[in-house]
Amino acid sequence: MNNWTERIPGILKAYEPDLLRAVAGRLCKPRNQWPIEELIERSIATLENTPVLDRRLRELAQPSRLVLALMAHSQQPRWRIGQLIEMTVALTPDGGLEPILDLLEAGLLFPDLPEGETINAFNMWLAHGGAHRPPAVIAPPLLLERLLAGYREGAAIAFDEALPPSTTLLGVTPLETDGLDWPLRLSVLWQQVSAAPLRRTQQQDLFKRDLDRLHADPLLATTSSDALVELPDPGMLAVAWSQALGLIENKEGDLVACAFDESWQDGLPRLLVRLLASLSDVAFWNPAQGWQVEGNVGNPYPSAYLLTLLLLSRAAADQWTRPADLEEWMLRRHPFWAAQSGDGAKSNGASRPPAKTNPRTGRSATQEPALAVFLLGLAYPLRLVQIARDPAGEPLVRLSDLGRWVLGLTDNPPLQPTFPQTLLVQPNLEILAYRQGLAPDLISRLGRIATWKTLGPACTLLLEPTSVYRALEQGETSEGIVRLLESRGMKGVPTPVLEALRTWSNKRQRITIFPSAALFEFPSAAELTDAMNRGLNAVRLTDRLAVVPAEKDIDYRHFRLMGTRDFLLPPDRCVEVQHDGVTLSIDLSRSDLLLETEMQRFSELSADFHPPGRRIYRMTPATVQAARKNGMTLAGLQTWFLERTGLPLSPAAHLFLTAGEMPPLDLRRQLVLHVPFAEIADGLQQWPATRDLVKARLGPMTLVVLEKDIETLRSRCAEINVKLQHGDE
């Protein structure tokens, strides 16, 4: 509930000044014109002031008190307005929206506003709510606690007098469950989702593969042995309920497992309060039709669940009620069904599939409340109600002691017998868990370390490499697992089990993944050693590299950062090629982690002096040829040069890389003819008489002539009065 306490100041800040003054005027009745911030502070102080809250509660009209009482009994401080209206209309002719508006204006209820939204009038805010975001309200937890305290002191809320009939049964033994069935099922579902997330369609349904998986699961798909009626789609209820509880969450379209929260550590009664409270947030499932993604707008069951339990609370502790009588009451009083009973053809969801017809009443599943299914299939396994049979064998229900406490009707939950030694660990890695010793904390821990195989009076689990691995990944240790099995076991842990746990645990140490680590690169091994001596909590990778799993653990006072590089950024140009084409100089302030591993593939660290801030690598024929042998291609090296130096591959590097593929180079003896002007060389290359005698042109004024053609060239040149002579003549 603390989360809601923290939210209320933020909500008050979202009120426009006029609205805030009006609300604070009723809540804390200031005598002066206070600034807005002061008004908010005073309003919060009032909501934490017990005597003032009691006064404000006494000032409220009966229907407004009824709204708060309903929220208090649900132990859920957030409710959709539509559901509150349904409940108040069912209970009193004065119910509806008015009491809720009255409480909003009195500062005793607050709109559940999204971050950043402001509000200037409550009726405008209500008008903007839609089916995709139904408006909801939050009540201050202390206010609800005061109401419950008042109830326990005898100041009961007024209900309609026409309660369902109840009866006294003599000589019957009430049936009551241990309440562990759903905590166990939710733990099974958590395991399933941990193993493989459930994928959601855009319509919020599950993909067929996951639906099939849940429908075929032997533990989730079957109705509990505790339940007296068949619950429709129990596996899907487990999914919806786990999501409402925060045991699984929607992450980018996938339902993934979260950690078990603290409500699993506080004992069964507290967990049952959470389970019942979150039942009002269960979407897409109801006891009449099971899993219903389409046409789920206006689900009346969250309000019907609470009304049903509150109706049972109005009967004396030894009185029993027929579920059918509760259904009849709901059919007449709850606006969802009362409206439909007036017009049988009118249905809330146009696209719903045809529902089964109840042979007793002749109505379809959408036209009557399936409260018997809720009571006998859900509330009974949750230990909220007790069951007895009348002489005709018909089931009758009444609230259990635990159910009364869950509704806030008694001060303390019934005492639970404890059986600490409840596990039997067998050499074949099976764990037998006797139900009488189980509790939510043990269920959640067992669910982490072993796989549920059967649920029953004695549940079985199996220790597997995957389950132990999952537990270790979630912070359990091998020693912790052994301690748990020994402290809760009826016998010592067998040696094969200890050995298996040790083997699996050691195997996990073989590969370590750092998904987003901070890696320290030191100039030399000495600096790394110095850093470790100063307490750097790091894993040494090489003589100069150390990895810190969490960057927040680094004490930066010991370090002078020479550069920071984000591994996720693309490669940077941080290498210069020297004039020799083989020397590569790295700018260390810009280089990334990949660079040197890349360079070591085709070059080697230079033994020469490295200027400050730079590191020198050198390509040699041997290093480049080695790279070629290891699969480096010309195109690959060219790309690397362009990315890292901004220049094309140096000719020297090109030579080193392609030298092995070249044919033998042709070494020839030939003469070079030097001419005084380029035009003369052009002429000799163009004139047909000399053209064939010029074998190549080396430069603008140099031509190649074969030795054997010299005399022919000499005579041709003589025809145009050009004389040839040897340079050394």
Interface residues toward another protein, by CB under 8 A: 465, 469, 472-473, 504, 507-523, 527, 530-531, 534, 539, 541-542, 545, 547, 549-551, 557-568, 588-589, 592-594, 597-598
Minimum CB separation from another protein for residue 355, in Å? 42
Centre a 10 Å sphere on the Cβ of residue 465 and count the other Cβ atoms it contains: 12
Rounded to the nearest whole angstrom, what is the least distance from the CB of residue 575 to another protein in the complex? 16
Q: In angstroms, what is the minimal distance from the CB of 66 to another protein?
A: 51
383: left (phi over 0), alpha (psi -120 to 50) or beta: left
- Cβ-Cβ contacts under 8 Å for 375 (sequence gap 6 or more): 308, 323, 326, 385, 397
- Give dist(CA 49, CA 379) in Å, integer: 36
Min dist. Cβ of residue 631 to another protein (A): 12
62 versus 633: smaller Cβ distance to another protein: 633
Other Cβ atoms within 10 Å of 549 Cβ, number: 15
Nearest approach in angstroms of CB 193 to another protein is 16
What six digits make up the tokens of 404? 């009364």
Cβ proximity of 186 and 241 under 8 Å: yes
Q: What Rg value do the Cα atoms of the chain yield, rounded? A: 41
Q: Indicate the residue among 159 and 559 with the shorter CB distance to another protein.
A: 559
CB 283 within 8 A of CB 82: no
Strands 614-618 and 604-605: antiparallel
411/566 with CB nearer another protein: 566
CB 272 within 8 A of CB 407: no
Angle of CA points 151, 153, 158, to nearest 5°: 35
If the CB atoms of residues 210 and 521 are measured against another protein, the closer one turns out to be 521
* H-assigned helices in 286-334: 301-314, 323-333
* Nearest alpha carbon to residue 456 among 427, 435, 426, 483: 435
For residues 100 and 60, is the Cβ–Cβ distance under 8 A? no
Q: CA angle at residue 205 from 202 to 209, to 5 degrees? A: 105
Q: What is the dihedral of CA 241, 282, 69, 142, to 10 degrees?
A: 60
> Looking at beta carbons only, is 32 or 630 nearer to another protein?
630
Work out how close the CB of 279 gets to another protein at its nearest, in angstroms, rounded to a whole number: 34
Pick between residue 503 and residue 715 the one whose CB is nearest to another protein.
Answer: 503
State the nearest-atom distance from the C-beta of 465 to another protein, in Å. 7
Q: Which residue number, 121 or 562, has a Cβ lying nearer to another protein?
A: 562
Shortest reach from residue 230's CB to another protein, in Å: 37
CA distances from 724 to 673, 685, 712, 721 (A): 9, 16, 11, 10
- Return the number of the residue (59 or 551) whose C-beta is nearest another protein: 551
CA distance 225 to 57: 44
Supply the minimum distance, in Å, between the C-beta of residue 443 and another protein.
24
DSSP per residue over 196-216, as a string?
SPEEBPTTS-B-HHHHHHHHH
Least CB distance to another protein at residue 639 (A): 14
Instruction: Give min distance, CB of 513 to another protein, in A.
Output: 5
CB 136 within 8 A of CB 77: no
Taking the complex as a whole, the smallest distance from the CB of residue 61 to another protein amounts, in Å, to 57
With CA atoms as reference, report the closest residue to 360 among 324, 392, 336.
Answer: 324
Specify the residue, 380 or 520, whose C-beta has the smaller distance to another protein: 520
Residue closer to another protein, measured from CB, 550 or 718:
550
Minimal distance in Å, beta carbon 257 to another protein?
15
Pick between residue 513 and residue 607 the one whose CB is nearest to another protein.
Answer: 513
Looking at this protein, which amino acid is placed at residue 240? A
Measuring CA to CA, how many Å separate 20 from each of 11, 26, 214, 390, 546?
10, 10, 49, 56, 56
User: Would you say 587 or 709 has its CB closer to another protein?
Assistant: 587
Residue 162 sits at φ, ψ, to 5 deg, of -80, 70
Taking alpha carbons only, the member of 4, 74, 112, 515 closest to residue 306 is 74
What residues contact residue 19 under an 8 Å CB cut-off, 6+ apart?
A: 119, 120, 121, 122
Quote the least distance from Cβ 525 to another protein, whole Å: 12
Among 112, 107, 106, smallest CA distance to 134 is for 112
When the beta carbons of 22 and 541 are compared against another protein, the nearer one is 541
Task: Please say which residue, 202 or 564, places its beta carbon nearer to another protein.
Answer: 564
Evaluate whether 637 touches 657 at the Cβ level (below 8 Å): yes
SS3 78: strand
